[in-house]
Structure 1
């Protein structure tokens, strides 16, 4: 296959890190969230920016609203849709109604992982 044949093809296949990020995000239960840095910590690799990059490129295929900033702010540019999802899922919000209550909503990674707790 020549490079011109691949230039119009689908995006590059996911690398192992991107697949791992998306796998973690898919396991976050409804009503729970993780910060970008939490995802990286669970994986033992990368950091918030790397997780954010994966989410920006490929996050539309997973419950992206469950990965947020450490201060409880929804993903930038997607606040309205994310807040709708939080209300539907019963995600605990802060009194301002614009941010997630991280103390109550942060997922500890147990359950839903396919692994033993």
Structure 2
């Protein structure tokens, strides 16, 4: 699922888990990414549900994730990507929140 995230876009850990058929398993996705040794996996496209980078601010990984996202045209401010909330149901998609 992570490989399917298009360049210049991001998803939350929980969204990745749900799309992989494992709803509620966001921490599993985080663990898998933490153990990843495949340099081709676009791990940098996965963020916390609030759009923040999950690594400690200022760490080497945090800086690398910011750089990789910016290189793809993603606006990162203070370690956060502003993004719309994912649509949870059809009514919200059609009629908006309310």
Structure 1 length as normaliser, TM-score? 0.60
8 Å contact from structure 1 (residues 31, 86) kept in 2: yes
- Between the aligned partners of 1:86 and 1:70, the Cα distance in structure 2 is 16
Number of equivalent positions: 80
The equivalent residue for 2:15 is 38
Structure ranking higher on relative contact order (CA contacts 8 Å, 6+ apart): 1
Confirm or deny that 1:74 pairs with 2:57: no
Gaps of 5+ in 2: 87-98
- Between the aligned partners of 1:38 and 1:54, the Cα distance in structure 2 is 15
**Between Structure 1 and Structure 2, which shows a larger proportion of helix residues?**
1
Structure 2 length as normaliser, TM-score? 0.70
- Structure whose CA Rg is larger: 1
Runs (4 or more) in structure 1 with deviation over 6 Å come to none
The equivalent residue for 2:72 is 89
Change (3 A) 1:73 1:59: farther
- Between the aligned partners of 1:69 and 1:60, the Cα distance in structure 2 is 21
The equivalent residue for 1:6 is none
- Between the aligned partners of 2:82 and 2:16, the Cα distance in structure 1 is 17
8 Å contact from structure 1 (residues 39, 51) kept in 2: yes
- Between the aligned partners of 2:37 and 2:18, the Cα distance in structure 1 is 18
The equivalent residue for 1:7 is none
8 Å contact from structure 1 (residues 30, 91) kept in 2: no
